[in-house]
Amino acid sequence: MYLIVGLGNPGRKYAHTRHNVGFDVIDVLSQKYDIPLLKLRDKAVVGEGRIRGQRVALAQPQTFMNLSGESVVQLVSWYKPEDDHLLVVFDDVDLPEGKLRFRPSGSAGTHNGMRNIIYLLGRDDFPRLRVGIGRPPEGWDMKDWVLAGYDTKELRQTMFDAYLGAADVVAEWIEGGVDAARQLVGKLNG
């Protein structure tokens, strides 16, 4: 069983904002692989199905970003994925808008949601896929930046393309592992 968790904040107010890229990638996976997100389990909206022949659970924690670990710990306890079969998808202000980064393990960086997950799981040895949202312009508060949407048609297209690419990276990781996922990220980032 693979557990793919996309981070974000619940509610219409936060839909399609920079901080919700994890939710948006999960939505793309849900649609592409016909895995409806219908269950409420472990403080998350969850869908179960198959991607490239493997059993998967897609999850969007409903705890708000900074408490994401509360849901992830419960999901891991329920689904019991092998250590390397948990993948977390989230936004990264240190990557340019639309760029991807895949890592098999590592720190939370500046991301409070990942920091909470690592703290509550007690480990950081699980894969993660970051989607770049760029740094705020001069004079912008970081919180306002990550909770803002995309203000141009071109940027919305860039980010949607990134979500499609991220979904492909997730599928590639499930089928071919870390190296295959990294190779695809390299191609997508061009």
pLDDT digits (tens, 9 = 90+) for 33-42: 999 999 999 9
Task: Give the pLDDT score at 110.
Answer: 84
Band of the pLDDT at 83, cuts 50, 70, 90?
A: confident
Task: Give the pLDDT score at 6.
Answer: 98
| Annotated catalytic residue 85 | no
Band of the pLDDT at 14, cuts 50, 70, 90?
A: very high
| Residues of the chain above pLDDT 70, percent | 100
In the predicted structure, residue 1 carries a pLDDT above the cut 90 = yes
In the predicted structure, residue 48 carries a pLDDT above the cut 90 = yes
Long-range contacts of 164-167 (CB under 8 A, 24+ apart): 164/28, 165/100, 166/21, 166/25, 166/28, 166/89, 166/100, 166/129, 166/131, 167/25, 167/28, 167/29, 167/32
What backbone phi and psi angles, to 5 degrees, belong to 151? -95, 0
Partner residues linked to 90 by β-bridges: 130
Q: What is the CATH number of domain 2-189?
A: 3.40.50.1470
- Cα dihedral across residues 22, 24, 25, 31: positive or negative: positive
Residue among 16, 19, 85, 111 flagged as catalytic? 19
Band of the pLDDT at 169, cuts 50, 70, 90?
A: very high
| Nearest C-alpha neighbor of 43 from the set 13, 88, 73 | 73
Gyration radius of the chain over CA positions: 15
In the predicted structure, residue 190 carries a pLDDT above the cut 90 = no
Band of the pLDDT at 109, cuts 50, 70, 90?
A: confident
For residues 1-10, average pLDDT: 97
In the predicted structure, residue 108 carries a pLDDT above the cut 90 = no
In the predicted structure, residue 182 carries a pLDDT above the cut 90 = yes
pLDDT mean across residues, the chain: 96
